[in-house]
Amino acid sequence: MWNRVKIVFNDKGLRKKIFFVLIVLAIFRIGSSIPIPGVDHARLAGFLTNNQFFGLMDVFSGGGLSNMSILMLGVAPYITASIIMQLFTMIFPKLKEMYQEEGEAGRQKFNQYSRILAIPLGFLQGFGLLTMLQNQGILTQISLLDRFTNIAIMIAGTMVLMWLGELITEKGVGNGISLIIFAGIVASLPQTIKNALFTFDPSQIMMYGLFLAGAFLIIAGVVAISEAERPIPVSYAKQVRGTKMYGGVSTRIPLRLNQAGVIPIIFAISILLFPQMIVNLLAGANVGFAATLTGFVLPILNNSWVYGSMYFILVFFFTYFYTAVTFDPHMISTNLQKSGAFVPGIRPGQPTADFIAKIISRITLVGAIFLGLIAVLPLGMRAATGISSLAIGGTALLIVVSVILETAKQIESQIVMREY
């Protein structure tokens, strides 16, 4: 391990990329500390403490929401836009063709549409968030012009974060958006540890021990699932060209148990935040129907069992959905057939595509159930212990471990490439 670390810091190009990532993340942290005017921070802190949904949103924005900073929306509008665009690939064949068959140029065009869609979504989220906070008395009453000015600043902050994320992906190491979410989570760890130490109750030491054990189990489980593979054997037909024989070798296609990585967790949280934001927005309206609706829906959303069930179902669904969008068995079958390769015992063409799709469906089932269970496990621990920070800590831990594994693999691949 230390030899790898030594190689990383001795390689000028790789060292430059890592320092570039650190500088960009430092800029993100500075921006998260620049607040918008007219905020009652005492009321805001109490609101976030008693609301697990917006507590999660604050964690993912790197404390931007608790500071009411210009980056309080984080990359949430872009993530929501990505979800909508990928749902559209199921409806519009041209979008699916652009994303899967046109290569890097098609994906860049697809991402550009997601960025454009993030602007109106950022406006809706910003307007709803400011209105809700103003109804809660957290923001002072401001004019309509000032509100739209703040919304424009928040949208600009999201666009800057998207740009910084793309710079990390292009010139640094790792996935830029994932690393920004990772930096936001890690930035909240010192405050979380500080609060845990100051509120430590010796009578609940067993509960804290269970939490630590659960954290280690989550880490071990995420590493195991991320590294697990199901290899498919592939053989190449022998070809005679002149006096020489080519082919006849055997290899394998490694299919990851969890093709989607940490994306289903991020998608599920983004979807779960919307109903809570809308209900809290309606709660401040002086309309009889809105009050009745919020009085009925809000207790349901605050119920741990309902929230946990919705969380599990969404993680399970998005694991299958993202795998279906990014992994095309027909394309793999076609490429194998064109290169003269085949799966032993399976006919080329459609039977090979069906065979690969069957395997993907089975291994994705295991990955989806596992992701869903470890996503809701901290919620169960919170319900058992009564410690509200456990729900946030477990989900954050899941994302942190996955992002670290993904980034470490990219660094490892660059080291191997330089060695060759």
pLDDT of residue 212: 75
pLDDT of residue 281: 63
Q: Look up the pTM and report it.
A: 0.75
List % helix, strand, coil for the chain (3-state, nearest 5): 75, 5, 20
| Inter-CA distances, 222 with 218, 257, 370, Å | 6, 11, 9
pLDDT of residue 334: 85
The SS3 of residue 27 is: helix
Q: Which of 88, 172, 157, 85 is nearest to 125 (CA)?
A: 157
Q: Are the C-beta atoms of 71 and 31 separated by less than 8 Å? A: yes
Torsion sign over Cα 84, 85, 89, 91: positive
Fold that domain 204-420 belongs to in CATH:
Preprotein translocase SecY subunit (1.10.3370)
Q: Do domains 1-187 and 204-420 have the same CATH topology?
A: yes
Q: Which stretches in the chain have pLDDT values below 50? A: none
pLDDT of residue 419: 66
pLDDT of residue 223: 79
The full set of domain ranges for the chain reads 1-187, 204-420
pLDDT of residue 329: 85
pLDDT of residue 414: 75
pLDDT of residue 63: 65
pLDDT of residue 375: 75
pLDDT of residue 72: 81
pLDDT of residue 133: 74
pLDDT of residue 180: 85
The CATH H-level superfamily of 1-187 is SecY subunit domain (1.10.3370.10)
pLDDT of residue 387: 58
